[in-house]
Amino acid sequence: MAAEAEVSGEERRILAFGDSLFAGYGLATDEGYPEKLEAALRARGINARVADAGVSGDTTAGGRQRIAFVLDSMERAPDLALVELGGNDLLRGLSPVEARANLAAILQELKARGVPTVLYGMRAPPNAGPQYQGEFDAMYPELAREYDAALVPFFMEPLLGKPALIQADRIHPTAAGIDAMVAATVDAVAGALPED
């Protein structure tokens, strides 16, 4: 617990709003991304509390339906929101146009409440077809620019070509995979936190 002693400053509340990649599908309760991210931020002396609002199987439409409820049920507005959705839209072949509209509504809700945001991008595989791939992949950087959100270009990137970091379902990261994803994104999250 040595890292805990160095934690200082006001508590920074971070909302991790996403799907099974945040919910920690197939992992122990302390092995999910929000839990590991909180530990990584605290190891840097940031008094972070990450609220895990990941729902396995959630699509961008599901996220759009629940974002206001999730924010309203928090004690106070988060200092930062992490938005990670789109993977399930991709798996189901749902329209990138609709996914984009849903993500835009989520980002708009957060912006209207003055909550800075990090948008976690996904990428469509080539077998989705060039048009789908182009539309899907482009929506994350475009939305990040439009809503002044920080961007993690491709959340799954640390797992590419490393099957040992992926569970047997070939979709979800192992605990070691989560560690790699945290290591690749903790700088972006720390950098997006507003000043005390």
Q: Are the C-beta atoms of residues 152 and 121 closer than 8 Å to each other?
A: yes
CATH class of the domain whose range is 2-190: alpha beta
| Catalytic site positions | 20, 169, 172
Is the predicted pLDDT of residue 3 greater than 50, yes or no? no
Taking only the tens place, the pLDDT of each residue in 42-92 is 999 999 999 999 999 999 999 999 999 999 999 999 999 999 999 999 999
Q: What's the mean pLDDT when you consider all of the chain?
A: 94
Residue range 8-25: mean pLDDT, rounded: 94
Which residues neighbour 28 within 8 Å (Cβ) at sequence distance 6 or greater? 175
User: CA 64 to CA 58: how far, in whole Å?
Assistant: 10
pLDDT on residue 51: 96
Cβ(8)–Cβ(42) under 8 Å?
no
First-last CA distance in the chain: 24
Banded model confidence at residue 8, pLDDT cuts 50, 70, 90: confident
Q: Give the whole-angstrom CA distance, residue 121 versus residue 118.
A: 10
Q: Quick check: pTM over 0.85?
A: yes
The predicted pLDDT at position 5 comes to 45
**Per-residue pLDDT tens for 121-180?**
999 988 889 999 999 999 999 999 999 999 999 999 999 999 999 999 988 999 999 999
Q: Where would I find the beta strands (DSSP E) of 19-141?
A: 46-54, 80-84, 117-120
49 and 12 Cβ atoms separated by less than 8 Å: yes
Sheet containing strand 117-120, strands side by side:
46-54, 8-18, 80-84, 117-120, 150-152
Tokens 């797992």 belong to residue: 159
Q: What is the mean pLDDT of residues 84-110?
A: 96
Q: CB under 8 Å to 73, separation ≥6 — which residues?
A: none
Rama region for 26: left / alpha / beta (φ>0; ψ in -120 to 50; rest) = left
